[in-house]
Amino acid sequence: MAEFMDLEAQDGVRMAWNVLPGTKQEANNCVVPVSAIYTPIKPFPTIPVLPYAPLRCRTCRSILNPFSIVDFAAKIWICPFCFQRNHFPPHYASITDDNLPAELFPQYTTIEYESPGDKSSSVPPVFMFVVDTCIIEEEMSFLRSALSQAIDLLPDNSLVGLITFGSLVHVHELGFGHIPKSYVFKGSKDVSKDQLLEQLNFFLKKPKPSAGVIAGVRDGLSSETIARFLLPASDCEFALNSVLEELQKDPWPVPPDQRATRCTGTALSIAATLLGACVPGSGARIMAFVGGPSTEGPAAIVSKNLSEPIRSHKDLDKDSAPNYHKAVKFYDALSKQLVHQGHVLDLFACALDQVGVAELKVAVEKTGGLVVLAESFGHSVFKDSLRRVFHSGDSDLGLSSNGIFEINCSKDIKVQGIIGPCASLEKKGPLCSDTVVGQGSTSAWKMCGLDKATSLCLIFEIVKKDIPDATAQSTSNQFYFQFLTYYQHNSGQMRLRVTTLSRRWVAGPGSIQDLIAGFDQEAAVVVMARLVSFKMEIEAEFDPIRWLDKALIHVCSRFGDFQKDSPSSFSLSPRFSIFPQFIFNLRRSQFVQVFNNSPDETAYFRMILNRENVTNSIVMIQPSLISYSFHSGPEPALLDVAAIAADRILLLDSYFTVVIFHGATIAQWRKAGYHHQPEHQAFAQLLQAPRDDADAIIKERFPVPRLVICDQHGSQARFLLAKLNPSATYNSDARVPGGDIIFTDDVSFEVFLDHLQRLAVQ
Amino acid sequence: MAAPVPPGAPRQRPPPQSNYNPNFQQNPNALFDNFQNLNINRPVSMPNSTPRPTPFAQTPPFPSTTPQPPMSRPGPPPPGVVPRSMGTQQPTLPPNVAQRPPAPPAGQSFPFGGRPPPGSFPSSMGSGGPVGVPPSGVPLAGALPSSGSLAGPFAPPPSARPFASSSTLSSGMNVPPSSAQDGLTSNGPLSYAASGAAPGGPRFPPPGSAMQTQTPPVGHPSMVASVRSPPQSPSMRFPLGSAGISSSMVPPMQQAMPFSVPPQSAPPFSSAPPISAAPPQGVPPPQGSPFGPQTWQSRQVGPSHPIPGSVQPPRMFGMPPPLPTQSMTTIPPAMGQTGAPVAASSKIDPQQIPRPIPSSMVVMYDTREGNQSNTPPPATSDYIVRDTGNCSPRYMRCTISQIPCTNDLLATSGMQLALLVQPLALPHPSEEAIQVVDFGESGPVRCSRCKAYINPFMRFIDQGRRFICNLCGFTDETPRDYHCNLGPDGRRRDADERPELCRGTVEFIATKEYMVRDPMPAVYFFLIDVSMNAIQTGATAAACGAISQVIADLPEGPRTMVGIATFDCTIHFYNLKRALQQPLMLIVPDIEDVYTPLESDVIVPLSECRQHLEMLLESIPSMFLNNRTAESAFGAAVKASFLAMKSTGGKLLVFQSVLPSVGIGALSAREAEGRSNISAGEKESHKLLQPADKTLKAMAMEFAEYQVCVDVFLTTQTYVDIASISVIPRITGGQVYYYYPFSALPDPAKLYNDLRWNITRPQGFEAVMRVRCSQGIQVQDYYGNFCKRIPTDIDLPAIDCNKAIMVTLKHDDKLQDGSECAFQCALLYTTVYGQRRIRVTTLSLPCTSNLSNLYRSADLDTQFTCFMKQAANEIPSTPLVNVREQMMNLCVNALVSYRKFCATVSSSGQLILPEALKLLPLYTLALIKSAGLRNDGRIDDRSFWITYVSSVSIPLAVPFVYPRMVAIHDLDSKVEGGSPIPPFLPLSSEHVSDEGIYLLENGEDALIYIGSSVDSNILRQLLGINSVEEIPTQFVLQQFDNPLSKKLNEVINEIRSQRCSYLRLKLCKKGDQSGMLFFSYLVEDKIPTGGQSYVEFLINIHRQIQVKMS
C-alpha cells in the first residue's frame, strides 16, 4: 500500500489498477474499472513553478514532459501520446543531456507553469453572500455574528456583495453612501438576465447594447456601476456590518400551519445573474446561507403547507415528490449558468429540517462549491467551517477558482467521465468514450471552484481489442496520461499544473499476477463508492447491494485463490485482503443505506465523498476506531462491537462525526471527578488523549466534523454503535467482554465473509 | 362671479318667495322679479352699497331678506298666489306703490315702445355711450351726461330715489317695478334687489299675463314716456332692468338712428319690459362697443324702487347713483352684426347688462321658517345658516328650491333637477356645530322599509307610537325606548331637544352593524417622483419640503400612520422602523409586476418614525441628486404603494413630475401624436381627453375597494396626460393638483399649502354615501369623484370638505302640489380619529305645479354648476363644438320656456330673463370660453379643467369660469369696512387700464396684470420693482413695508381663505404670453378667434329664443 501512497505523494493520483489490463476484454473482467482519483492542485512542497509558457505538441497539444523522447542533437522531442516529432523552439536551443529544463526532469512528472503576463489582469476574489432571513431570531443572531466574523477575515481587496432573502430577495447596494439601500425582487418570479440588468439600472448612463452577452467591464458595464453592488471588503465593511446588524427576520407573517415563504432558488439565480453581469469569468463565490426549505418560486421543494412533509427517499423512489424534478431542473440550469460564468456556489445549510440540499446538489457539485450541513447556525460545524473558509495559514483550504481540467492519454484509452466536482465543457474528441459516467463525453472539464483537497475520480475505458504480437508489446507496453489543470491560484495568478503519468499494461494469460500486484484496494473501493452513489442517483430501479455483491463476488472469483466449490480453500492476496471488508462497510454506509437519512443528508454525504481524496473517503466508508486505555497507548481497534470495553475510551472517526466514547467505568470515574484530583493525573491524561486526537482531526478537516462525546449506554452512543460491526447482537449467543450488543438484524462481517467465500468459489 | 354678487342675488330670490306669499311688500317686487328679463338691468348690486332701500333701509339684503321670508312663510306660497302677489305687492308697495304702478305700465308700454327702442338705445349709446361709457373710470361723469338727458325723464324717479336705485334696476320702466320689488324685498337695498324684485314681478306676470298688463299700465305711461325720452335714461334701465332695454329699444326707434334695420333684432332684448316687473334686458349685443365705461358700481345702481328706480338709474359709475342716470345703456350696435355694427339696432348698454353683484354683507339664513323651507342664499355669497329643520345649503342644495310636481312640468321649464351634495362642507365659523347623536347599541332609528334615517320630517302619530316615513310613506312602530308623547301641535314633545328631530343635519355614532372591520387608522402614504426631471426642476425638493412641514399637521395620536416611497423607473420604499439607526431603502425594480417589499414597517405609526421621516425627507433630494433616470413608473409606483396600504386603506399622496413612461399603466405622449396628425387631431381631439387605456381605471377600482384614496400633485413642465392619470384620483375620491409649468421659486409655497389643506381639512375615510328621495322622485345618477359598484350607493375611499357630488334626479311619479318632497343624504364614514359616523343631511322642499314658481326658485349657481359638470362629463366623448352648442342649448332652453310661458311680453323682440337666472347667459358665455371648452387650450389644461370641475363645489365652481377681477393699484385709497377685497370689475378689457394693476383670480390661479404705464411708485410699493420692464417671470408675493403692499397681502390672504386655495400667483404684462393669458379670462370681450362678446352673445341667445318660439 505504501508504494501507492508514494505515488500519490508525487502526483496526487491514486489508481485502482496501477498495472492496467491491456485489452477491453481483460478490463471488463477486472470488474473494478480502470480509474484514477486525482487531486489536481494537491500542494507539494517541492513542486517547481516554471515562469514560462509550456511547450506543446503540434498535433495533440500535450505538453512536453519527462516521458517525451528527446533528441538533443536534432533539438527534437517526440510526443509520447501521438508520437509526433516536434522541434524545440529557439529558446530551448541550449538544451542538452545535462542541461535539461525542469519539465524534463524525471522526478517532475507534476509541474506548474505560471505565465508572467497574467499578473496584471488578476481580479480579486469576489464573495457574494446570500443570506436567508426566514429564520428565528436566535438563529439570526448566530448567523449575524458568524458572518461578521467572516467579513473580518476577508482579504481586503476582495469584492463583496450581499443578497438577503425570505419571501422576497433583497439585493443590497452596498456602494450607496446615504442610507442602506436594497433592491427587492419577488421571490416567486424568475428574473431573466436582461430584466435584472435593467431593473438594477445597469444601463443608466449608456444605451443598452443591442445584442450579445452583456458582461463585465469589457462589455461596456462601467466599473462604477459594478461598484454599486460589489465593493472591496475594506470599503464596505462598515456598510456591510450595519446592514447585517439591522438584518431583520423576514417580516412577512407566517400562519401557524404554514412554512415561511422562502425563495432560495430565486435568490441564488439573482446572485448568479448579478455576478455574471459584473464579474464574468473571474473567480467569484456565491455563499448561500440557508436556514430552511425553499417554498416559493421555481425551486420550491415543498409547499408552504405544513401538513405536507418534505420529501423523503421513499417519496423520491416512488416519484411522489412533486417539486423535486422541477427544482432539480432549475438548479441544473443555474449550474450551467454558473459554470459558464466560472462562478462557484457554496452552500451552508443549517436547519433541523431539510433545506433542499438534494436539489441544490447539482449546482454545488458542478461548480465545485463547498457544502456544509449543520443543525444550526450556532453549531460549531457551521461556525468553524465558515471560519475555515476564510482562514489563511497552515490549514487554509487553498481555495482556487476558474479551473479547467483537461486530459490527454494514449490512444488505446478513452475517458468515460469524471465523478466529482466539475462540469463537462463538452469538448468532444477521440478521447471520449461512448459510455458515459458522471461528467462525460468530453476531454475538458470546468472546475469553477477547487481547493487543495478536491479530488476527481476519472473512469477510463481500455479500447484495445487484442494484443498484436509479443514484440510490439514489449516495446510499448506503457499507457500515458497527462492531466492539465489551469486555475486561478488564490494569489490571483493563473497557473497550469501538468501531471504526466505512465503505467504499464499487461495482457494475456500470465498477466493476472501483475494486475494483482498493481491493485490499490483503497482506491478501488473509493471508486466503487463513487460509482455506486452515482448509479443510485442516475439509474432507476438500481439495487446497489446486489450490484456491489456481484462485483465483489466477481473480483473474488477472479483474483482469489481457491479450489472450486471449496469455500474453506478460499484465500485472497494481501493486495485484495481488505477489499471485502471495505465493501462490507460500504454496503452498510450512509452512501448505500440511504433510508436512515434524509435526501438532504445523503446528498451532502455524497458531495463530500465525491470531492475528497482516497484516504478521507476510506474513513467515510470504513470509520477508524482507536482505543485508549491504561493498559496500552492508543491503538487502532477493530471496528466491531467487541472493541467496546468498560475501561476503555474509544475514538471513532467516521469523517462527518468524531465520537469519543467512554466505557462505563471510565464514565463513572469521570462523573466522580477523579480527573480533577491530582493523584489521578493519569486518568486526566487518559481522558485528554482522545480529545487531543479528535481536535487534531477536526482541525484538518473541512467541513468540520461534528464532535460527539458520549458514554457507554448513553443515548449518544448510537453514533458509535451504528458504525460497528454487529458481531454481537441481541440474538447472538455469546456475550462479549465489553458487555455491549447492537440491536440490529444486520449480518455481521463474519456471516458476510462466509457467504462470500461460498459464492466466490462456485 | 364675484362672490359679492351673491348678496344681491339672494335677496332677489328671497323676495320672490315672499312674493308668493302674498304678504309682503316685497312680494310686489316679486312680481317684477319674475320678470327679470335679461335686461340688462341686472341692477347691479351696487345699489346695495347704496342704501337704496331707504324704506327697508335695512342694510344688506339679508337681514332684510330674512325677515321677509318669514313673512312669506306665513302664507304658504301657493303658487297660484303669485298673481295675487301683485295685489300684495301693491300693498307692500304702498310706499312704493305709487311708483310702481307707474313702472309696470312702463314696462308694458315698453313693449310697444320697447321694440322700437332698440334704436333708441343705440342712440343713447351713441350719444350717451360714447360719452358716458368711456368714462367708465369715471362712470359717474359719463353716466351723468348720458343720463343727463335721460335723467330728465327719470328725474321724477329721483324722488323715488330711494327706490330709485331699484328703479334703475328695473332700468326700464316696467322693470322698475319689479326691480323695485326686489329692492324692496331684498331689502330695499337696491342691490340687485331690484333685479331680484324684478323676478318677483315676473312671476306674477307669468301666472297671469294680465298681471303684467295690469302692472304695466300703471307705471307705464310714465315709464314709457320716460323711456322714450330717456333713451338715454333707459339705457340705465337696461342695464338694470329689462325695461331698460325696452326703453332703449324704443329710443332707437324714435331716433331711428342707426338701427332702423336692426330694430327687430335689437328688440329682442328690449322685449323685457313687458313685464313690468321684469327688468328689461335690453341686451342688444353691442359688439365691441365701448363698454369700457362702466364700472361696476355704475352698473346697477340698485334701484330700490322699481319703477321709479328705473328712472333713477342713471348713476352709472358713480357709486350709489343718486341720479337716475344710470341708464347708460349704451347699447352699441346690437344687432348690428349683420349690418354695420354701429348701426346696431338694438343698443345694449354693456354696463347695464346683467352682471354679478358683489356684496360683502353676511346674510343670516334660517333653513326653514314657519314650517316652510326657505329659499337659500346664493352659494357664492357669504351667509350664516341656522339649521331649523332643513339642512344647511352648504351640505345639499337643489337646482330648484321647489320641486316640480310632474316630469312634464320639469321638462317644460327646460331646467335641470339635481342636487349638489357636499356632505362635509366647511361651515361658517359662526354656525352651530353639527350635533352628534348616540343611539347606543341599537343604532339610529330608521325606517324599516326604505332605511331612511330619522329626521325632522318624519311624522309621529298615534301618540307617538308610530311614525310615518317622509321618504317612502311607510308607517313604522316607534322603538319602545324612543317613544315620546306628542304635544298639542302634533310634534313630539321632545322634538326640540333631540337634534335628529329638529336639525337638518346630524351625525349618528355608528354601531358595529355599520362596520365590516374596525374603523381604519389614518394612513398617509407619500409617493415622490425622483426622476431626473423632478430632481432638476426642484419638484422633489419642493415635495419633500412640503411633506416635512406638513408632518406636524397630521392628526395626533397612535392611529396616525405614515409611509413614504420614491420612484423613478423603479420604486423605492423606506423601512422606517424605529429600531433601525436610519431608514432602509428598499427598491422594487420590477415595474411590470409590482409588490410591496415589506409587510410592515413601510407604514408605521407617526409617533415612532418622526425622526426617521425627517431625516429621510431631508436627504431624499440629495440622495437622488445625480439621478439620470428620465423614466417614470407612476402606475407601478402607485400600485406598489397601494399594495403596502392594502390592509388598512388610507390616503396616497403622489407627487409626479413627468409623463409616466414605463411599467404598469405607462402612457405615451399622445398629445404629440395628436398634434403631428392634425387632421385626425381636430376630429378626434376629444379622444385625448379620455384615459389612454383601462389599466389605470382597473387599478383605481381596486384601490377604491380597499379604501385607498389617491391625490396627485402634478409638478410638471411637460405634458403628463392628466386625462389618463386623473382616473385614479377621480375613482378613489381624490384630487388632482396641477402646477404647470412648475417653477421652484413660487410653487413650493403653494404645494405646501395645498398639501397642508389636503391633510388638515375636515375629511373622512372609507365612506359610503346614498341619497334617498321621497316617493315620486328617484336618484338618476351620481357625478363626482367616487367609485360606484352598485347603483344605489357610492363608495368614497375618502371624502373631504371641498368635494361635491352632483346627484341627478328624475320623476317616477307625480308629486302632490302643496306637499313636500324630501331628500336625505346619508354618509357613513370614519373620522381621522377613527370614529365611525353617519352624517345624515335632510332637505325637504315644497312641491309645485306652477311653472313660474320654478323660475322664481331656480338656483342659478347650482344650476350653472350642473351645467359645468355636465360639460365636463361630455367633453371627453364629444367634439368641443357640440359641447358648446349643448351648453348654449341648456341655457336657451331654460330661457325659452320662461319667455314663452311666464313672460307676458307680447313682443318677441325683447329678451326677457327670469330674474333668478338672469346671469345664466353670462355664466354660459364664460363657460364656453373657459379652458375646458376652448379649442386652443393645451390638452392637459383641458383635462385638468375637467377633473377640477368633476368634484368642485358650487362656491368654487362659479368663480372658476367667471373669475373675479379687482384693481389693486389703488387699494390704499379705499377705506371700507368689512371685506378687504375691493369691488369687482366686470371681466371686460374696458375696465383694464394701462395705469392700473389688476388681480384676477379663479380659485386656482391668480393673475396680476400690470398695465404698461403704471406709476413706478406703485410698482415699487406693491412688487418691489422699479419699472414695468423689470417684471419677473416668476413671482413670489412679498410683503413690503408700505400700506399698499400690506393691503395687497391682506386681499390675497382673504381670497385664499375664501377659496381654500393658496392660488398660483403670476405676473402678467401687456404684449406677451402672460398678457394674453390674462385677457383670455376677460370673458365679456370678443375674442379675435371667434368668441363672442357678452353683448353679442346675448343677441345670439335672444335670436335663438326667438327661433324656438316661432
- Taking an 8 Å cut-off on Cβ atoms, the answer to whether A178 and B622 are in contact is yes
pLDDT for the residue A399: 87
Give the residue from B987, B996, B997 showing the smallest Cα distance to B1086. Answer: B987
Q: What is the pLDDT of residues B953-966, one digit of tens each?
A: 999 999 999 999 99
DSSP letter for B495, please. Answer: T
Span A687-705, average pLDDT: 92
How far, in Å, CA of A439 to CA of A530, rounded?
13
Answer for the pair B691, B697: CB distance below 8 angstroms, yes or no: yes
pLDDT category at B257 given cuts 50, 70, 90 is very low
* Grid cell of A227 as nine digits: 461598484
- Taking an 8 Å cut-off on Cβ atoms, the answer to whether A179 and B583 are in contact is yes
pLDDT for the residue B976: 59
Closest residue on chain A to B590 (Cα): A199
Strand, coil or helix: B1025: coil
> Average per-residue pLDDT in chain A?
88
Give the residue from A392, A447, A451, A465 showing the smallest Cα distance to A23. Answer: A465
How far, in Å, CA of A175 to CA of A226, rounded?
9
pLDDT for the residue B1040: 87
- CB of B617 within 8 Å of a chain A CB? The answer is no
% of chain A at pLDDT higher than 70: 94
Instruction: Kindly tell me if the per-residue pLDDT of A581 is higher than 80.
Output: yes
What is the length of chain B? 1110
- Taking an 8 Å cut-off on Cβ atoms, the answer to whether A201 and B599 are in contact is no
Answer for the pair A346, A364: CB distance below 8 angstroms, yes or no: yes
Instruction: Say whether the peptide bond before residue A703 is cis (omega within 30 degrees of 0).
Output: yes
Closest residue on chain A to B595 (Cα): A186
Q: What is the pLDDT of residues B95-109, one digit of tens each?
A: 333 333 333 333 333
Residues of B in contact with A140 (CB under 8 A): none
Nearest to B585 among A181, A198, A253 (CB): A181
* Grid cell of A494 as nine digits: 493563473
State the nearest Cα–Cα gap between A186 and chain B, in angstroms: 7
Answer for the pair B133, B291: CB distance below 8 angstroms, yes or no: yes
Strand, coil or helix: B396: strand
Looking at the DSSP assignment, which residues form a beta bridge with residue B829? B837
Rg over CA atoms, chain A: 28
- Taking an 8 Å cut-off on Cβ atoms, the answer to whether B569 and A201 are in contact is yes
- Give which of A184, A261, A269 to mutate to test B binding, by max B Cβ within 10 Å: A184
Amino acid (1-letter code) at residue B755 = L
Integer distance in angstroms from the first to the last C-alpha of chain B? 33
Span A25-46, average pLDDT: 91
Instruction: Kindly tell me if the per-residue pLDDT of A325 is higher than 70.
Output: yes
Span B68-72, average pLDDT: 36
* Grid cell of B853 as nine digits: 314658481
State the nearest Cα–Cα gap between A171 and chain B, in angstroms: 9
Q: What is the pLDDT of residues B680-692, one digit of tens each?
A: 445 566 778 888 8
Instruction: Kindly tell me if the per-residue pLDDT of A666 is higher than 60.
Output: yes
Instruction: Kindly tell me if the per-residue pLDDT of B207 is higher than 70.
Output: no
Instruction: Kindly tell me if the per-residue pLDDT of B506 is higher than 90.
Output: yes
pLDDT for the residue A493: 81
Instruction: Say whether the peptide bond before residue B741 is cis (omega within 30 degrees of 0).
Output: yes
% of chain B at pLDDT higher than 70: 66
- Chain A residues with CB under 8 Å of a chain B CB are 168, 170, 173, 176, 178-186, 189, 191, 195, 198-201, 204-205, 242, 246, 248, 251-253
- Taking an 8 Å cut-off on Cβ atoms, the answer to whether B584 and A182 are in contact is yes
How far, in Å, CA of B917 to CA of B122, rounded?
25
Span B572-588, average pLDDT: 86
- Range with the lowest mean pLDDT among B358-362, B533-537, B1005-1009? B358-362
pLDDT for the residue B980: 78
pLDDT for the residue A131: 94
More confident residue, B1032 or A372: A372
Top-confidence range, A110-119, B123-132, B888-897, B898-907? B888-897
pLDDT for the residue B1110: 77
More confident residue, B683 or B337: B683
% of chain B at pLDDT higher than 90: 36
pLDDT for the residue B677: 55
- Taking an 8 Å cut-off on Cβ atoms, the answer to whether B584 and A181 are in contact is yes
pLDDT category at A238 given cuts 50, 70, 90 is confident
Instruction: Kindly tell me if the per-residue pLDDT of A654 is higher than 70.
Output: yes
CB–CB contacts below 8 A, A to B: 74
pLDDT for the residue B682: 56
Helices B139-154 & B232-240 angle (0-180, nearest 10): 110
Span B284-301, average pLDDT: 35
* Grid cell of B291 as nine digits: 363698454
Instruction: Kindly tell me if the per-residue pLDDT of A364 is higher than 50.
Output: yes
Instruction: Kindly tell me if the per-residue pLDDT of B394 is higher than 60.
Output: yes
How far, in Å, CA of A636 to CA of A625, rounded?
6
How far, in Å, CA of B1016 to CA of A390, rounded?
79
Give the residue from B898, B1031, B1051 showing the smallest Cα distance to B970. Answer: B1051
pLDDT category at B142 given cuts 50, 70, 90 is very low
- Taking an 8 Å cut-off on Cβ atoms, the answer to whether A195 and B590 are in contact is yes
Q: What is the pLDDT of residues B760-775, one digit of tens each?
A: 999 999 999 999 999 9
Top-confidence range, A129-143, A197-211, A467-481? A129-143
How far, in Å, CA of B20 to CA of B14, rounded?
10
Instruction: Kindly tell me if the per-residue pLDDT of B421 is higher than 90.
Output: yes
ipTM of the complex: 0.85
β strands within A400-530, DSSP E: 400-409, 413-419, 423-424, 444-450, 456-462, 478-488, 494-506
How far, in Å, CA of B363 to CA of B196, rounded?
16
Give the residue from B388, B282, B299, B318 showing the smallest Cα distance to B8. Answer: B299
Span A129-154, average pLDDT: 91
How far, in Å, CA of A240 to CA of B56, rounded?
84
Q: What is the pLDDT of residues A337-348, one digit of tens each?
A: 999 998 999 999
Q: HSE-up of B893 (CA within 13 Å, CB side)? A: 15
pTM of this structure: 0.77
- CB of B618 within 8 Å of a chain A CB? The answer is no
Q: What is the pLDDT of residues A242-261, one digit of tens each?
A: 888 888 888 888 899 999 99
How far, in Å, CA of B475 to CA of B493, rounded?
20
Instruction: Kindly tell me if the per-residue pLDDT of A596 is higher than 80.
Output: yes
Strand, coil or helix: B691: coil
Residues of B in contact with A178 (CB under 8 A): 619, 622-623
Strand, coil or helix: B296: helix
Distance of CA B638 to the CA centre of its chain: 33
Tell the residue number behind the cell numbers 362678446, with chain if given: B1093
Closest residue on chain B to A179 (Cα): B584
- CB of B584 within 8 Å of a chain A CB? The answer is yes
* Grid cell of A46 as nine digits: 517541492
Helices B156-170 & B209-228 angle (0-180, nearest 10): 120
- CB of B629 within 8 Å of a chain A CB? The answer is yes
- Taking an 8 Å cut-off on Cβ atoms, the answer to whether A246 and B581 are in contact is yes
More confident residue, B981 or B943: B943
Closest residue on chain A to B574 (Cα): A181
Distance of CA A250 to the CA centre of its chain: 33
pLDDT category at A310 given cuts 50, 70, 90 is very high
DSSP letter for B399, please. Answer: S
- Taking an 8 Å cut-off on Cβ atoms, the answer to whether A179 and B584 are in contact is yes
Closest residue on chain A to B663 (Cα): A199
> Average per-residue pLDDT in chain B?
72
% of chain A at pLDDT higher than 90: 50
Closest residue on chain B to A242 (Cα): B581
Q: What is the pLDDT of residues B258-280, one digit of tens each?
A: 333 333 333 334 333 333 333 33
* Grid cell of B805 as nine digits: 357630488
Q: What is the pLDDT of residues A382-393, one digit of tens each?
A: 999 998 888 877
State the nearest Cα–Cα gap between A168 and chain B, in angstroms: 7
How far, in Å, CA of A20 to CA of A514, rounded?
9
DSSP letter for B337, please. Answer: G
CB burial readout B59-69, b (16+ within 10 A) else e? ebbbbbbbbbb
- Taking an 8 Å cut-off on Cβ atoms, the answer to whether A184 and B586 are in contact is yes
Looking at the DSSP assignment, which residues form a beta bridge with residue A131? A164, A289
Nearest to B588 among A184, A205, A252 (CB): A184
pLDDT for the residue B974: 60
